[in-house]
Amino acid sequence: MPPGSERVNPRILREGIRVLAVAIRAEPRVFTLSVLASALYAAMTVGTAQVLGWVTEDVVLPAFASGHTTAGALTGAAAAIVGVAFFKALGVAGRRFYAGLMQYRMQARYRREVTRQYLRLPLAWHHRHPTGQLLSNANADVEASWAPLAPLPMAVGVLFMLVIAAVSIVLTDVTVAIVGFLVFPAIAMLNVVYQRRLAPVATRAQQLRAEVSEVAHESFEGGLVVKTLGREDAETARFTARAHALRDANVAVGRVRGLFDPVLEALPNLGVLAVLLIGSMRLQSHAMTAGDLVHVAYLFTLLAWPIRALGWVLAEVPRSVVGWNRVRGVLDAGGSLPYGEQELAAGGPAALEVRAVRFGYEDGARVLHDVSFEAGAGRTIALVGPTGSGKSTLTNLLVRLVDPADGSVLLDGVDARDVRAGGVAATAALVPQQTFLFDDTVRGNVTLGLDLPDERVWEALRLAQAEGFVAALPDGLDTRVGERGATLSGGQRQRLALARALVRRPRLLVLDDATSSVDPQVEERILAALRERDAGATVLVVAYRKATIALADEVVYLDHGRVTARGSHAELLERSEGYRNLVNAYERAEAEHEAIDHEAIETGGEEALR
């Protein structure tokens, strides 16, 4: 949407009312209480004017005229003033409390809904939406959607107050009422102009917040790449451009408010001066009393500020509509994975079958072409192929992060699409290429909130060959590992990620190059432990090393998205030239890497490796 396309027109106003109606339907009791408190404030505001008029006419002026007064008169006047002030304060407190409660409840509710929707939506949807934009949807856009809720009860109370005050002023003196009421159309017209000027720049600022969040997130995520390639200045310039654009948009908002706010403040005061001028003339002609003049002037003084509440609501409407549309864009997004009702068995390794699977990413070429193979329960399958052959895509299909365009993935003979929600996740576990650890303890990263005994955590760490280094950490399982596991080595992070999968005792374990950062000997011990444990699992491992591949019961060779060969490692070395060349190339590259490291240590020590 181009900047400046939004205006506070009837369509925007109708959309804003619909957004507010959503909140009112969601929190009817809280909204009713906030409006009642606001009505109490409005009634007491008018009551204050009447009390001051009565005190002026019946207590103050007689006291000046006679030169004395009575304690009873003063006590009655004080009691009346304190009484209306108390109930007025009660109305203010109730209005603010319930309005804030309603606003924060709606924000919390829709943050949860947006987050749940993120978890429901498939990876294909996430691939099309930058993370920074998603963060903005769940935070800034949700806040903007419900920003009008804070002044809304005040605005509703203002309408009630205007009716009571208008009737009271008209009944007091029609001439003064006509003069004073000329101010309200002027304020209303100025508010309309104000919102028309404010809406486009406020909308632009809201859009730029998402863009700044997006660029910042990318910069943080790609910090290592930026530093290693010496692109700090370019990345800083990219962020600076967006930050300056947001700054300019916010300054534009401030300019509009700075231009109109003083005028909106001045108009009611000018109305009060006009009322006092005409009222003084009416007072001299004995057409009204001093108490009536105080009553009317005080009412106009009080009404000047509450009328602004209507403007505050209108000011937030364009941002609210923009934020709501962005939030609804997430909540209405399609593509969530459908689920069936079938249950999978609870124990023992799972049988896996991939049947004529085809898959392609949106706006991209097809990645997998009629991929078919089986993995019997308890067997270990090595998936081997060159870069870009579709191995990682296939692992995502096996644990149903995405569904195939054609064909099916079967677990124990059941199509994964027919399994109940959560059933595949309870049966299969994926350890991906990119290891992610939370800024939490070792225990927290392994259990991810599951209430598991320490014995089970240590069992998973032993299987992942992580028991030794975890035990050596300062606080053992309670040691915090830092953001993304920054205090651990790459191999240690991979082993914790593997333990995270193993602690759930999956029946199908999918390892997408999940041990590439550990020593070959450690990797061999890990795979051997997986094969020998009592509650075994079917294992599919994306592998490169000959030693790892040799441990598999069967090798599936994937090339250009097709299964071109299957069999044992020895069989494929004999009959598949592509497989033979690939595995030998990996072995030569690894041998050369180890030789370079060994030479560096001998000639320069550890310092040469840094």
pLDDT at residue 99 above 80? yes
Which residues span the domain enclosing 318? Answer: 10-331
Angle between helix 152-172 and helix 71-120 axes, rounded to 10 deg? 150
Backbone angles phi, psi at 408, to 5 degrees: -155, 155
Do 319 and 375 share a structural domain? no
Q: Is residue 604 over pLDDT 70?
A: no
- Domain boundary (299, 331, 363) is at 331
Considering the domain architecture, whether residues 385 and 497 belong to the same structural domain is answered as yes
Same domain? 290 vs 360: no
Please determine, for residue 443, whether its predicted confidence score (pLDDT) is greater than 80. yes
Residues 174 and 253 in one domain: yes
CATH code: domain of residue 506? 3.40.50.300
Among 532, 450, 435, CA closest to 484: 435
**Residue at which a domain ends, from 301, 331, 361:** 331
Same domain for 444 and 581? yes
**How many structural domains are present in the chain?**
2
* DSSP string for 579-600: HHHHHHHHHHHHHHHHHHHHHH
Q: Show the beta-strand stretches assigned E in 490-581.
A: 508-512, 538-542, 554-559, 562-567
Verify that 189 and 324 share a domain, yes or no: yes
What pairs with residue 539 in β-bridges? 380, 509
CA angle, residues 374, 377, 381, in degrees to nearest 5: 50
For the record, the structure tokens of 415 come out as 């199509």
Final residue of a structural domain among 297, 331, 365: 331
Whether 340 maps to a domain, the answer reads: no
| pTM (two decimals) | 0.62
pLDDT at residue number 296: 72
Q: Is the residue at 342 inside a domain?
A: no
Question: Could you tell me which residue, 424 or 13, shows the higher pLDDT?
Answer: 424
Q: Which of 41-55, 89-103, 318-332, 495-509 is predicted least confidently? A: 41-55
Torsions phi, psi for 410 (to 5 deg): -115, 135
pLDDT (mean) for 420-446: 84
Tokens 């303890």: give the residue: 441
Token digits of residue 371: 């991929």
- Residue 397 maps to a domain: yes
With a cut of 70, say whether residue 71 has pLDDT above it. yes
Radius of gyration of the chain (CA): 36
Q: Which of 267-281, 323-337, 445-459, 580-594 has the lowest mean pLDDT?
A: 580-594
Are 400 and 271 part of one and the same domain?
no
Please answer whether residues 33 and 27 qualify as being in contact, where contact means their C-beta atoms are separated by less than 8 angstroms: no
Average pLDDT for the chain: 78
What would the pLDDT profile of 484-495 be if each residue is shown by its tens digit?
777 888 788 888
219 and 263 fall within a common domain? yes
Same domain, 389 and 270: no
User: CB of 562 within 8 A of CB of 391?
Assistant: no
Residue 284 CB partners (closer than 8 Å, separation 6+): none
CATH number of 299's domain: 1.20.1560.10
What band does 326 get if pLDDT is binned at 50, 70 and 90?
confident
What is the per-residue pLDDT for 164? 73
Closest CA to 424 of 447, 403, 400, 448: 400
Q: Average pLDDT, stretch 237-252? A: 85
Question: Residue 199 and residue 374: Cα distance in Å, rounded?
Answer: 60
Asked whether residue 379 falls in the same domain as residue 247, the answer is no
Q: Which amino acid is at 517?
A: S
| Residue 4, both tokens | 């400046």
Q: How far is CA 575 from the centre of its chain?
A: 53
**Cβ–Cβ < 8 Å for 505, 462:** no
State residue 29's pLDDT score: 92
CA-CA distance, 498 to 522, in Å (whole number)? 13
Do 327 and 403 lie in one domain? The reply is no
Instruction: Quote the pLDDT of residue 608.
Output: 40
Q: Using one digit for the tens of pLDDT, what is the confidence trace for 187-214? A: 667 766 776 777 677 777 767 877 787 7
Same domain, 143 and 217: yes
Q: Which stretch of 105-119, 145-159, 449-463, 529-543 has the lowest confidence by average pLDDT?
A: 529-543
